[in-house]
Amino acid sequence: MSEGTFPRAVPDAAWVTIPDLHRDPFPIYQQMRREAPVHWVPAVNRYMVTSYTACHTIEQDAETFSADETDSLMKRSMGHSMLRKDDPEHKVDRDSYGSTLRPGTIKKHWNAIFEANNEKYLSELQAKGPGADFVWDYAAPYAAENLRLICGFHNATQEDMQRWSQTMIDGTGNYADDAEVWAKSAQSSAEVDAAIDEMLPLLAENPDHSLLSGLASMPIPLEAIRANLKMTIGGGLNEPRDVLATTVWALLNHPEQLASVEEDPRRYAVAFEESVRWVAPIGMYPRETTRDTVLEGVQLPRGARLGVVIGAANRDPDVFEDPEAFNIHRVKKPHLSFGGGAHFCAGTWVARAQVAQVALPSVFKRLPGLRLDPADPAVDAGWVFRGMTKMPVRWN
């Protein structure tokens, strides 16, 4: 803030509605960014932060902007996971995940499993034939089966993983306080608890590379194990599923960029990163101010409940040229889709491996002439979490 200027009051965005955000939040974010970097949004009962600089500032200042939010929807849905903790408590939980999600383990162990699962579910998509839904007949079961094995849920199915993930994720985004959403979330939470309780002693006796196996031998409280695995079931399934489908959707809508990627397969990784910038699969997450503060010239009181809107920050024209466009050839600048600071997403390397390295090259090689079904248009939706909800495809 320059000398002689004063903090401004937070503008009120009473015009914003949850249905409009769900349908297409990006025009709303454009208007909000033009007016101010922060707005009070009554519909979601929090301050929504939409500028890149403000979102980045929040991630780098955990002392002022705490992840341990009061009355957190995620805590209610999943328990008190590492995502809603600050250091040093956060670091204890995160370190307990050990080497399972690190690049070396992915290369030595998980990539072969990703390739086998990709073969299985891509073959099932092919068997269903043109008109099959890319999301629900391929991307979702592929991501769910990968995550089932990463977590160590040998007593569950990929269908269980999908149901658990969606219902608990719905709880974390239940800003409308829908009772039915809470009931389904609670049921899945109880099922995950039971599955964890059954697997921990089995994996202590028969260890493998999974997260639960590593946790079985550590002095970590059971409630922390339960909450962190539920958090992993949410983001670890929805993110790769949605990035995979969104990237394919974007490339099919930009055939010249698809041709560029097919000419040089190294560009699949570039397409992945541009996709998560363009449509952040986790579009918003909460923080809470620990003291009165000024954020990008806007006055915020202590205890302010914030929504860090990554889906808006990644399209900030002050940082990205022509930000509303999907463009794999843009000058590379760091997006915020995997968070930052202490809370940088632990599953980033897993997502990159299973989507950019394994799935994307295989999809376009195995499905020649892949295209969207013109008779049954694809649908994208969401704002707290955003992705393709329907995506029928055809191929030659």
User: Mean pLDDT in the chain?
Assistant: 94
Instruction: Give the pLDDT confidence of 81-113 residue by residue, as tens digits.
Output: 998 999 988 888 888 887 788 889 999 999 999
Report the distance separating Cα 167 and Cα 169, nearest Å.
Answer: 5
Residue 363: closest CA among 214, 262, 219, 267: 262
**Confidence check: pLDDT of 3 > 80:** no
Main-chain dihedrals φ then ψ at residue 123, nearest 5 degrees: -65, -35
| Residue-level pLDDT at 144 | 97
Provide the pLDDT confidence category of residue 190 given band limits of 50, 70 and 90: very high
Total-model pTM: 0.94
| Residue-level pLDDT at 5 | 60
| Residue-level pLDDT at 219 | 85
**Neighbour count for residue 293 (Cβ, 10 Å):** 17
| Mean pLDDT within 165-179 | 90
User: Tell me, what amino acid is at 300?
Assistant: L
HSE (side-chain half, CA atoms, 13 Å) at 129: 0
Instruction: Give the pLDDT confidence of 25-46 residue by residue, as tens digits.
Output: 999 999 999 999 999 999 999 9
In our burial notation (b when 16+ CB lie closer than 10 A, e otherwise), range 327-362 reads bbebeeeebbbbbeebbebbbbbbbbbbbbbbbbee
CB 46 within 8 A of CB 38: no
Give residue limits of the domains in the chain. Answer: 18-394
Tokens of 318: 């002050």
- Domain 18-394 CATH class label: mainly alpha
**Confidence check: pLDDT of 4 > 60:** no
> Alpha-carbon torsion 145, 147, 152, 153, what sign?
negative
CB 226 within 8 A of CB 79: yes
Instruction: Give the pLDDT confidence of 208-224 residue by residue, as tens digits.
Output: 999 999 998 888 899 99
